[in-house]
Amino acid sequence: MQDDLPQDSKLTRTKRAWAEAGKFLTGREARPEAERLPPGQHLVTDWPVLDLGVEPEVPLASWQLRVTGFATNPLTLTWEQFTALPQQTRRSDIHCVTTWSRYDNDWQGVPVRALLDLAQPLPMAAFVLLTSHDGYTTNLPLEDFAAEDAILATHWQGQPLTRAHGGPMRLVVPHLYFWKSAKWLKGIELIGVDRAGFWEKNGYHMYGDPWREQRYSDD
């Protein structure tokens, strides 16, 4: 549960302070069609590990992915059922709110649209609230969750995702800051009204567009 997450950990307190101070903000707005590196970002060649201090171990034998809420066909998939869905590869960049970006990440997994085709969102579904095995939550509009390049990734650079990076499966939504791409994903709730997740309740932006520097809440 989100209430069990470390709301007063050193990391959480630090990031709330960043939000209050507007740390890293440049005030410059870029155009994604014209610029590859969003404002305030710097390139890295490694892949930094960021989490809330818990890296859950999720045995494949008991792994499940649930799609609930405003769906014609709510789902509960086992690992075997999930990995039997159509597989695709995607190449995309990562933009982390802590200012690092990494180019040309190759993902393999299930396109989000393939899962939604099974669940069949109802007309009142406008947002999703995502829940992870460590209790983490985050939110995003359904249309962004269903973006053409959004993928439920099981592999990175040709290898199974490591536990540290969200394995066995994580979401990747490349056009938003990477905190929206939940690690260790286990639940997708289709909702009608937007609801803040963990970092959104701790000062981060409800949407998170890197090119508009939507790092922190406007409130």
Q: Which residue ranges make up each domain of the chain?
A: 2-25+40-212
SS3 200: helix
* pLDDT by 10-residue block (mean), the chain, 219 residues: 57 61 63 82 93 87 98 98 97 96 98 98 98 96 98 98 96 98 98 97 96 87
Domain 2-25+40-212, what architecture? Alpha-Beta Complex (3.90)
**Any bridge partners for residue 91, and if so which?**
106
Answer for the pair 73, 194: CB distance below 8 angstroms, yes or no.
Answer: no
What gap in Å lies between CA 127 and CA 86, rounded to an integer? 24
| Whether 53 contacts 11, CB under 8 Å | yes
pTM: 0.87
